[in-house]
Structure 1
Amino acid sequence: MPTENKTPEALKVERSTVTKLVITGAPRLDAITVFLEDFGRRDCPIDSNPNYQTAQGKLTINCWDNSWNAYWGGMGPRTVAEFVADCGWDYVLNCLDRGISPTVFSGDALHTLAKKCIVQRRRQQTGRHDWELGELSKDEARNLWHDIDSLRSIESPNECWHQSELLTELFGDEWHYPIDGKAVEENQKFTYLRKVVDAVQQALRQEQQYVVA
């Protein structure tokens, strides 16, 4: 049977305005490439103005082998460059990497906390801190001091359960409470991204001042 020829439907094509910036000279950072993409405005009716429209845009940042991006669908009348420059660094950072924390769990930090616990319990300093258990004898402290080296290899809070017996001897049955938020160290990824965000915002504000001048 002959094949029916169908005229293909026209594709929908939309254009956006893209600005590329290359930022150099930021302390302890490689060159940062920034793409600012403005998608125009979309209808966003509100009670006071049924015809209200809000701008929408996307930010993409590349630095060395790292890349982050964020989209905003409600920037008001601002461009994405103006929006990012106006926002707090912490808000922009969280949009680029949702849920990232300034600290992360660390087996080394847990080991340090365990040493502190042993020393204070051995010296009967429990009143100064929230250790559930009381004084340790000399032999008990020596044995625990030897055993806690295994804590260094723990890479996540979930893995702590594999050392539940040891952690119970140190911190008591509710051991997860004293280590929560204390067995942590600086999150280098967070610190690095903050430096990048600071540099990008500084550059955008500098650009705005240049345009105004």
Structure 2
Amino acid sequence: MPTENKVDAPLQVERSTVTKLVITGAPRLDAITVFLEDFGRRDCPTESDQNYQTAQGKITINCWDKSWNAYWGGMGPRTVAEFVAKCDWPYVLNCLDRGISSTRFSGDALHAFAKKCIVQRCRQQTGRHDWELGELSKSEARELWQDIEVLTSVESPNECWHHSKLLTELFGDEWHYPVDDKAIEENHEFTYLRRVVEAVQDALRQEQQQVAA
């Protein structure tokens, strides 16, 4: 049977302004490529101004094999370059990588914390430290010292529950509290992204100062 001819609606095309920057010379960083995209303004009426409009924009940052991007739909009267340059680095970093933390769980850190616990409990230092359990005999300490080697292979807090018996012998029934606080190390991905963000902000501010001069 013949199909009914349909008239497709015309495609909608919007044009935006894109600026590309290449930043070099930042300490301990490869060249950084930044794409700044301004989408114009959108209606955003307020109680005091029903005709108020706010700017929209997106930033994409590439450094070596990493890439991050963020979009803002309410930048006020500023361009995305002006907006990013003025914001604090923690805010920009979180927009680029939501939920990233400056520290992260580490099996190596858990193992080091377990060793510290055994040494202090064996040396009868429980009165000076907040361990739930009391002192250890030399034989108990020696056995635990061998057992805790498995902790280096733990990759996440959830995996700790597979070693609940061992962790209970070390830290007591509420072992998850000290583990959550102490089995952590610096998150190098966070530190790296912070250096990238700060380099980008410094470059944007430098450019704005040159334009204003």
Q: The TM-score by the shorter chain falls in which range? A: over 0.9
Tell me if 1:84 matches 2:84.
yes
Output the CA distance in 1 between the equivalents of 2:149 and 2:172: 18
Output the CA distance in 2 between the equivalents of 1:174 and 1:48: 54
TM-score using structure 2 length: 0.97
Contact 1:130 1:178 in 2 (8 A): no
SS at the partner of 1:145? helix
Matches within 5 A, 1:58-207: 58-207=58-207
SS at the partner of 1:20? strand
Output the CA distance in 2 between the equivalents of 1:30 and 1:140: 51
Q: Which letter maps to 1:72?
A: W
SS at the partner of 1:91? helix
Matched-pair identity in %: 82
Post-superposition shift, 1:130? 1.9
1:38-84 CA-partner distances (Å, limit 9, x unpaired): 00111111111111111010000011111000000000111000000
Post-superposition shift, 1:2? 5.2
Question: RMSD of the TM alignment (CA)?
Answer: 1.1
Post-superposition shift, 1:181? 2.3
SS at the partner of 2:114? helix
Output the CA distance in 2 between the equivalents of 1:65 and 1:8: 41
Output the CA distance in 2 between the equivalents of 1:69 and 1:158: 30
Matched residues, number = 213
Contact 1:24 1:30 in 2 (8 A): yes
Post-superposition shift, 1:126? 1.6
Unmatched segments (≥5 aa) in structure 1: none
Output the CA distance in 2 between the equivalents of 1:140 and 1:2: 85
Tell me if 1:50 matches 2:56.
no
Output the CA distance in 2 between the equivalents of 1:83 and 1:139: 62
TM-score using structure 1 length: 0.97
Post-superposition shift, 1:28? 1.0
